[in-house]
């Protein structure tokens, strides 16, 4: 028994240099460029554009008017060879744009797996997106932004370049993120203020009461105790440093230089 056949609408343009997996569905008026590698089971519903040196793993869905792998919006870009990598089982809703990397950055943009990218989201050059994230409608990521795992960004939120958002964080809609957001945090505002831990998200993710309490204690020591950063971090390490979640929190602070205030 042979592999499932691809279904490609007659109005779509597939460059002969593109590499297509099996069981792919490409609807009307789509374009797939020469450098694209498209994994098994992907679906292009209609009017989707895949371009550039773009590798896409299995099971992704691209809704109408998505533009994936276009050249970065960077005045320094001079048609250098840069790329885009997309993992498995992501959903890219209407009019999402994801651009390739730059040679002055990491050379590629990366999107992990199992992300929901809602309508009109823009992911700029050299961004690194992890797994199981939700970017709501009209979120805009400037270049060189890193989003870890299980993050939710509310609609119309903008993220300044070269920032990182830690795992299991939640940011309310219409926020401007101009600082690093540590793991497990919740906040909103223009400019963003970190208000508390993301307790609702942690409960939904199955975190135990003990884990949540340890995260909350570390968060309070860092943000609410009145201690300076130099004072707070050693105390967190001494009192809670044996907890894996707290180690993730502390590791983020060390890796980003503590630039979260």
> Over its length of 261 residues, how does the chain's per-residue pLDDT go in tens digits?
567 899 999 999 999 999 999 999 999 999 999 999 999 999 999 999 999 999 999 999 999 999 999 999 999 999 999 999 999 999 999 999 999 999 999 999 999 999 999 999 999 999 999 999 999 999 999 999 999 999 999 999 999 999 999 999 999 999 999 999 999 999 999 999 999 999 999 999 999 999 999 999 999 999 999 999 999 999 999 999 999 999 999 999 999 986 675
Helix (H) or strand (E) holding 213, with range, is helix 209-223
Pairing between β-strand 158-159 and β-strand 49-50 as defined by DSSP bridges: unpaired
Q: Are 13 and 32 in contact (CB under 8 A)?
A: yes
3 state SS of 79: coil
- Count of CB atoms situated within 10 Å of the CB of 226: 8
218: helix, strand or coil: helix
* Annotation says 241 is catalytic: no
pTM over 0.75: yes
Catalytic residue among 53, 74, 126, 148: 126
99, 122, 125, 144: which one is catalytic?
125
Please state which CATH number belongs to domain 203-255: 1.20.1180.10
| Per annotation, catalytic residue among 87, 112, 143, 154 | 143
Asked if 117 and 101 touch (Cβ cutoff 8 Å), the reply is no
Q: Is 125 a catalytic residue?
A: yes
Work out the number of other CB atoms within 10 angstroms of the CB of residue 146.
20
H or E element in which residue 117 lies: strand 116-117
3-state secondary structure (DSSP) of residue 239: helix
Supply the pLDDT for residue 94: 98
Residue 77: its pLDDT value, please? 97
Whole-number Å distance between alpha carbons of 30 and 53: 17
Residue intervals of the chain classified under CATH 1.20.1180.10 are 203-255
pLDDT of 201 reads 98
**Would you give the DSSP letter of residue 56?**
E
Q: Is 53 a catalytic residue?
A: no
Question: CATH 2.160.10.10 occupies which residues in the chain?
Answer: 7-196
Query: What per-residue confidence (pLDDT) applies to 3?
Result: 72
pLDDT on residue 257: 86
CATH code 3.40.30.10 for 7-196:
no
């Amino acid at each position: 028994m042979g592999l499932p056949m691809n279904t490609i609408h007659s109005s779509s343009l597939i460059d002969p240099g593109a590499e297509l997996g099996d069981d792919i569905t490409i609807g009307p008026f789509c374009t797939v460029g020469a450098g694209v590698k498209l994994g098994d089971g992907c679906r292009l519903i209609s009017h989707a554009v895949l371009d550039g040196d773009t590798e896409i793993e299995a099971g992704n869905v691209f809704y109408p008017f998505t533009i994936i792998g276009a050249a970065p919006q960077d005045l320094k870009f001079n048609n250098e060879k840069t790329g885009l990598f997309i993992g498995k089982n992501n959903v890219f809703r209407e009019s999402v744009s994801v651009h390739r990397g730059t040679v002055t950055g990491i050379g590629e943009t990366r999107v992990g797996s199992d992300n929901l990218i809602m309508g009109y989201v823009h992911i700029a050059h050299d961004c690194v997106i992890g797994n199981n994230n939700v970017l709501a409608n009209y979120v805009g990521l400037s270049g060189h932004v890193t989003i870890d795992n299980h993050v939710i960004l509310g609609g119309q939120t903008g993220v300044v370049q070269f920032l990182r958002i830690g795992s299991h964080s939640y940011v309310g809609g219409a926020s401007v993120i101009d600082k690093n957001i540590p793991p497990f945090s919740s906040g909103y505002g223009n400019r963003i203020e970190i208000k508390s831990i993301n307790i609702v998200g942690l409960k939904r993710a199955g975190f135990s009461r003990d884990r949540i309490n340890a995260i909350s204690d570390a968060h309070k020591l860092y943000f609410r105790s009145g201690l300076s950063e130099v004072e707070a971090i050693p105390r967190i390490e001494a009192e809670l440093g044996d907890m894996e979640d707290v180690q993730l929190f502390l590791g983020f602070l060390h890796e980003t230089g503590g630039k979260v205030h």
